[in-house]
Amino acid sequence: MELRGTGVLVTGASSGIGRAIALRLASEGASVVTHGRDRARTASVAQLVGGRAVVADLATAEGVAALAAEAGAVEVVVASAGFGWSGPFAEMPGETLEEMVAVDLSAPMLLTHALLPAMLGRRRGRIVLVGSVAGRTGVAGEAVYAACKAALDGFAESLRLELATTGVGVTVVVPGAVRTAFFARRGRAYDRRFPRPVSAEQVAEATTAAILADRDEAWVPQWLRVAPAVRAVTPGLYRRLAARFGERL
């Protein structure tokens, strides 16, 4: 898909992966609308990319609707906004659970629902959902986050089949650990010795390449595809390895 002159909305663009994607897409000539909750940081990124900033809270349906209305006619939507929480599921605050499902799962679907009809009318567009390897394998201490990302995978696959002849594509970006503030915000630092975290810029590069090539998936790094394959073929072995080398609560 050609990006020069194409209208793009990037959610969660005020920091981390979203910010890196917004900058990278702008370097390809895209007209970028940046979204975030922090007004100053979102405006700062918008200035860097020469685009527009929209501040909205994706934890509410009203916030998603306001973002869709203000974004205007965009042909690419990159749903990057999200957050994590780490700890035993039984100890997770109920309000945090509800907010995570709203932001990490409901918001991308609601935003797609709002902006997809115009894409279908133009017979051109791409929905890009930033998922996680956690959604393909599961992670101890991140049951709700992993569930949201797994649900996004199911949504993407089903929607992709529906849109096969429409000119609108669906891409899922599947990163592993990324060097951003995500881990500090979830309440626990990344403490695995392997795999080493990748940069947000690497995720942005893979995302941009996938959009340009109309690809359905982008793994960062590529070798992470092995983990869900092992889980699918030998689930018992996978669980033993995950219990031994995975993150501890």
Integer Cα distance of 29 and 153 in angstroms: 29
CA-to-CA dists, residue 2 to 29, 148, 213, 214, angstroms: 9, 30, 9, 10
Asked if residue 140 lies in contact with residue 90, where contact means CB atoms within 8 angstroms, the answer is no
Cα–Cα–Cα angle for 35, 38, 39, rounded to 5 degrees:
80
Q: Which residues contact 220 (CB under 8 A, 6 or more apart)?
A: 173, 174, 175, 176, 178, 198, 202, 203, 206
Residues tagged active-site:
145
Task: Identify the H or E element spanning 26.
Answer: helix 16-27
At 77, give phi and psi (nearest 5°): -120, 125
Residues in the chain, total: 249
Residue with the two structure tokens 């996004």 = 152
